[in-house]
Amino acid sequence: MKNLKQRLKQGETLNGCWLNLGSSLTAELVGQAGFDWVLIDLEHGAGSEKDVLYQLQALEHTTAGAIVRVESAESQRIHRVLDMGAEGVMCPKISSPEEAQKVVNGLHYPPHGNRGVAKMVRATGFAQNFAQYYEDARETILGIVQIETVAVLDHLDAVAAIDGVDVLFIGPADLSMELGIFGQFDHPRFKEALQETVNAAQKAGKSTGILFFNPNDYQTYHELGIRLIACGADATFVADGARSLAQKLNGFRRAFNV
Residues assigned a catalytic role: 44
b/e burial code for range 152-179 (CB count within 10 A of at least 16 → b)? bbebbebbbbbebbbbbbbbbebbbebb
Cβ-Cβ contacts under 8 Å for 172 (sequence gap 6 or more)? 185, 190, 210, 211, 212
Report whether 145 contacts 156 (CB < 8 A).
Answer: no
User: Phi/psi at 227 (nearest 5 deg)?
Assistant: -120, -15
Give the span between the Cα atoms of 251 and 245, in whole angstroms.
10
